[in-house]
């Protein structure tokens, strides 16, 4: 906690709902994290590609962690509350009670998770329309967006869910409603996952074309007709009921929310970089790219490759004996076996395409699968370490592919800002610098997503004049990792192989579909 020589502090609470847990932090005006708590949340997979959660379970976890982080704090010093969450779909009836999103009729499970791929048929049909709104999501809609999931509910659960539904929320917006009683939606959620346009609003013709004309009724009351920018103050702040649940004072400012990855971006991308010699200094914020290294981008792929290897039990035992994580052990093992060459050169004959669960960006192709080329008969710890390295490199090549797609569309990126779990892994960070050829900025505060959520609360409180001011004041450079440009030629070659992998996969699929 801050020392007594300071003026009375102003504190903000950030709550982050991830895939497997809810986390909360108490953050001060300088962006320093003063208290942290986390709580696991339940997930259900009733059948393949169906992933569900419970809004009641998630809210209960939010209450547990928030109470923990404000314990012993003078409530008058808590100025604002911000939420971020995965872009999962929450379904409530007209009285705001949970409705089932499953064939079992279990209304407790009323959330279709972000990674759910049940609506494959529906998204194919939506993409065949080639409606103009699709240009705002890269030309092709992902199965993880909300329109195909809504269509699936209408076609598959008409009586038990669709006809009874009164409200469809993105999870971040559900949380801000639960805290304030205000059904306003965040511009972030609606633009990114629902086809809303900041300039034009909803497009009636799209919803009618895909068979969801019922949502147009009552001025889109079921999916949102009041839309606010992230950080805007909602209603009269925290309701007395929610205040009691969360252990916070009633009436404190509650912000319009953000999707979790965007909160990470908010927590890092506005960092004051003066004095570090970076190309983005003094340039528009659009020269910076925030890379949020959480569940959706990398954890699942790396875990899958490492845990499925024959040498994994040996790795676990050795890492435990050293009181290390398996990834810290693998990093040190790679340093042992690299000899005189740079560590990245160990994968000269081993290449990975990491899209085991389809590709969201920039290809938006849910049919893509993972690929590995260059396997040998050996299955020892050296072999596992090199496979792990190749997977880390593949994720960094995926980042390079996204950057190239952005630059082809007119963006000019010079600097990466990394946050999230894997930004704590030095190998992962260095590979991103080397493979993209760009410097990587790490924040002083590693929990950037929680800082981003707290920044929302700070903006809603009125303590800062703008989101930009709050970002600059509450995020600071911790470390800059520079690319090893002497290795550029090697990574350029590997990147060419990386692109060939997806070309070949598409060719194989075409052959198997042919007569």
126-169 confidence digits (pLDDT tens): 999 999 999 988 788 989 999 999 999 999 999 999 999 999 99
pLDDT band at 366 (very low <50, low <70, confident <90, very high): confident
pLDDT exceeds 80 at position 274? yes
Supply the pLDDT for residue 515. Answer: 61
Average pLDDT over residues 212-241: 96
Cβ–Cβ contacts within 10 Å for residue 380, how many?
11
Supply the pLDDT for residue 8. Answer: 59
State whether CATH 3.40.50.1110 applies to domain 11-267.
no
Strand pairing category for 227-228 and 185-186: parallel
pLDDT band at 203 (very low <50, low <70, confident <90, very high): very high
Beta bridge partners of 25: 14, 36
CB contact set of 167 (below 8 Å; sequence gap of 6+): 90, 91, 92, 93, 94, 96, 183, 222
pLDDT exceeds 70 at position 6? no
Supply the pLDDT for residue 403. Answer: 94
pLDDT exceeds 70 at position 336? yes
State whether CATH 3.40.50.10710 applies to domain 279-438+476-510.
no
Supply the pLDDT for residue 295. Answer: 58
pLDDT band at 272 (very low <50, low <70, confident <90, very high): confident
pLDDT exceeds 70 at position 7? no
Beta bridge partners of 13: 26, 81
**What single-letter DSSP state applies at residue 164?**
G
**More confident call, 218 vs 44:** 44
The structural domains of the chain, with segments of one domain joined by +, span 11-267, 279-438+476-510
Average pLDDT over residues 362-367: 76
pLDDT exceeds 90 at position 278? yes
**For residue 360, with 0-12 CB atoms within 10 Å meaning exposed, 13-18 middle and 19 or more buried, which class applies?**
buried
Cβ–Cβ contacts within 10 Å for residue 76, how many?
10
pLDDT exceeds 70 at position 430? yes
Average pLDDT over residues 410-429: 91
pLDDT band at 296 (very low <50, low <70, confident <90, very high): low
pLDDT band at 368 (very low <50, low <70, confident <90, very high): confident
Q: How far is CA 31 from CA 77, 310, 416, 454, in A?
A: 15, 43, 20, 8
Report residue 449 as tokens.
């997503």
445-502 confidence digits (pLDDT tens): 888 999 999 999 999 999 999 998 999 899 889 999 999 999 999 999 999 999 999 8
Supply the pLDDT for residue 421. Answer: 80
Mean pLDDT, the chain, as a whole number? 93
Average pLDDT over residues 97-109: 97
pLDDT exceeds 80 at position 364? no
**More confident call, 443 vs 457:** 457
| C-alpha dihedral (389, 394, 400, 402), degrees to nearest 10 | -140
pLDDT band at 73 (very low <50, low <70, confident <90, very high): very high
Supply the pLDDT for residue 359. Answer: 79
pLDDT band at 5 (very low <50, low <70, confident <90, very high): very low
Average pLDDT over residues 177-205: 96
**What single-letter DSSP state applies at residue 42?**
-
313-328 confidence digits (pLDDT tens): 999 999 999 999 999 9
DSSP calls for 387-429: HHHHHHHHHHHHHHHHHHHHHHTT----EEEEESGGGG-HHHH
Supply the pLDDT for residue 297. Answer: 52
pLDDT band at 3 (very low <50, low <70, confident <90, very high): very low
**What single-letter DSSP state applies at residue 272?**
B
Average pLDDT over residues 9-31: 95
Supply the pLDDT for residue 138. Answer: 79
């Amino acid at each position: 906690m801050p020392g007594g020589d300071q003026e009375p502090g102003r504190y903000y609470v950030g709550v982050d709902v991830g895939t497997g847990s809810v986390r909360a932090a108490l953050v001060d005006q300088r962006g320093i994290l003063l208290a942290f708590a986390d709580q696991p949340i339940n997930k259900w997979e009733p059948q393949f590609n169906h992933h569900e959660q419970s809004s009641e379970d998630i809210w209960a976890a939010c209450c547990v962690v928030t109470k923990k982080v404000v314990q012993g704090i003078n409530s008058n010093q808590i100025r604002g509350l911000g939420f971020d969450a995965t872009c999962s779909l929450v379904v409530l009836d007209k009285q705001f009670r949970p409705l089932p999103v499953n064939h079992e009729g279990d209304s407790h499970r009323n959330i279709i998770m972000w990674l759910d791929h049940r609506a494959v048929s529906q998204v194919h049909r939506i993409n065949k329309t080639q409606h103009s709104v699709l240009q705002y999501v890269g030309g092709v809609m992902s199965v993880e967006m909300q329109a195909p999931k809504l269509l699936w509910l209408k076609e598959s659960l008409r009586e038990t869910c669709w006809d009874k539904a009164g409200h469809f929320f993105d999870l971040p917006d559900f949380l801000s409603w639960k805290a304030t009683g205000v059904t306003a939606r965040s511009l972030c959620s609606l633009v990114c996952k629902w086809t809303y346009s900041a300039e034009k609003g909803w497009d009636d013709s799209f919803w009618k074309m895909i068979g969801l004309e019922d949502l147009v009724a009552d001025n889109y009351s079921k999916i949102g007709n009041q839309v606010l920018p992230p950080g805007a103050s909602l209603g009269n702040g925290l309701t007395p009921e929610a205040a009691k649940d969360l252990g916070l004072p009633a009436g404190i400012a509650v912000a319009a929310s953000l999707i979790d990855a965007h909160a990470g971006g908010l927590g890092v991308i506005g960092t004051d970089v003066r004095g570090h010699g970076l190309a983005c200094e003094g340039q528009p914020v659009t020269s910076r790219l925030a890379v949020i290294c959480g569940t959706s981008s990398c954890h699942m792929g790396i875990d899958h490759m490492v845990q499925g290897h024959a040498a994994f039990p040996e790795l676990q035992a050795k890492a435990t004996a050293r009181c290390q994580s398996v990834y810290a052990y693998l990093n040190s093992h790679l340093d042992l076996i690299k000899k005189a060459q740079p560590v990245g050169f160990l994968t000269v004959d081993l290449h990975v395409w990491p899209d085991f669960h389809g590709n969201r960006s920039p290809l938006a192709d849910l049919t893509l699968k993972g690929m590995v080329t260059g396997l040998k008969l050996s299955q020892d710890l050296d072999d596992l370490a090199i496979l792990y390295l190749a997977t880390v490199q593949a994720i960094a090549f995926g980042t390079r592919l996204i950057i190239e797609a952005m630059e082809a569309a007119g963006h000019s990126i010079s600097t990466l800002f990394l946050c999230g779990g894997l930004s704590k892994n030095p190998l992962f960070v260095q590979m991103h610098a080397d493979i993209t050829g760009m410097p990587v900025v790490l924040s002083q505060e590693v929990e950037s997503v929680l800082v981003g959520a707290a920044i929302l609360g700070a903006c809603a409180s009125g303590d800062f004049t703008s989101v930009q001011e709050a970002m600059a004041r509450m995020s600071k450079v911790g470390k800059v990792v520079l690319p090893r440009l002497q290795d550029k030629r090697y990574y350029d070659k590997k990147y060419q192989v990386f692109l060939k992998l997806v070309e070949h996969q598409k060719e194989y699929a075409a052959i198997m579909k042919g007569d």
